[in-house]
Structure 1
Amino acid sequence: MNVGIYVRVSTLQQTTDNQKLELYEVCERNDWIVVEEYNETVSGTKGESDRDELKRMLTDASRRKFDKLVVWSVDRLGRNMKHLVTVLSQMKDLDVDIYSYKQGIDTSTTMGSSFFYMVGIFAELENNMRSERQKIGIRRALESGAKFGRKSKLSKSVLTQIHSLREQGQSMRQISKELDISVATVHKGCSEKVVENRQCSTA
């Protein structure tokens, strides 16, 4: 089986050598062939965009360069839970297994596969929480008087004239000619006026 080894340390003073030594011994015991190494020296709190080796690993995984990723600890892929779940979900979607030395997790086994199942639950929970936060934010904004959608390009003066001419009984086409605007714009202006003043009829 072809595997990739991903190791990360948080500071320049630390070294990945000790981690790699242990991981290579694991690979040797299991007859896994190491086809690529990924050595990262960054803070785990940084996002994926700041981690070149992580991006390279995910690209190689998408190209099926290896069947399993071997890591010292699953938190090496990102200490932030949200980011970690994202990376693990990507690996699951790519059908690439993960072996974590410290936790003793191997997702290619029946027991280890439940780990990916839990990742899926966390990912769904995060999506639901984000959706709920968005709904709450929109509701609060509406309650405070915020308006959504595109801002009107019609001036207040034009809107007032459209409304006034409609009250005088002029048709949409007549208003269009008088104000030198399209009929569609008259419809739009009257509709916007309906929101502000219910007296304008679009009939």
Structure 2
Amino acid sequence: MIFSPKTEEAMTRFAKEAIKNSLDKSELSYFERLELKAKQLQEKTKKSFGTNREEETAELTSYMRDYMEQLINEEGLSETDAFAKAKAVFQIDSSNHSEAEKKQERLAYYENLDPATEEAIGLSYGSRMFLGTVIGAVLGIFGQIFYDGAIFGVVLWIMLGLGLLFGLGLGMASHAKISKSRIER
């Protein structure tokens, strides 16, 4: 199967980075170790002295291409969705991830969210916050009446705040569940 040049380039970039990230520090070249310490110095020297890992990159790209073809033909995924899934499958964990790379991964996750998932996440937060507020208000009113016989007071506001936090916690748990089910697909 022939993929678009954009997808081919993205697969090759990903494969190069994944191969480099899979290596221990002792396996990295001198210039790759410098990259961990100083990104600017690495960019200047990599062009003329960088390690060539074309064979490993081509191999990983080949595996990704085969997997993507299978996803497209058997599961009917689009090329973009197949690439995102292949990228997740072939991701090589490494402790060498910088904060910029982690930020890029988070941005990629949110860029690939479909509208239905976004709506489900928003509705889960909204419903959980509403539920937490109602529970907090009811407990706050009863607590306030028990405390000093009034309906409004400090206990009500404390319980309302705790109810909002409870709702936010439930919303986060729901968000995690939705995200996990999306990743497992």
- TM-score norm. by structure 2 comes to 0.29
Q: Which has the higher strand share?
A: 1
Task: Flag the structure with more relative contact order, 1 or 2, with Cα contacts below 8 A and sequence separation at least 6.
Answer: 2
Choose 1 or 2 for highest CA Rg. 1
**TM-score normalised by L of structure 1:** 0.27
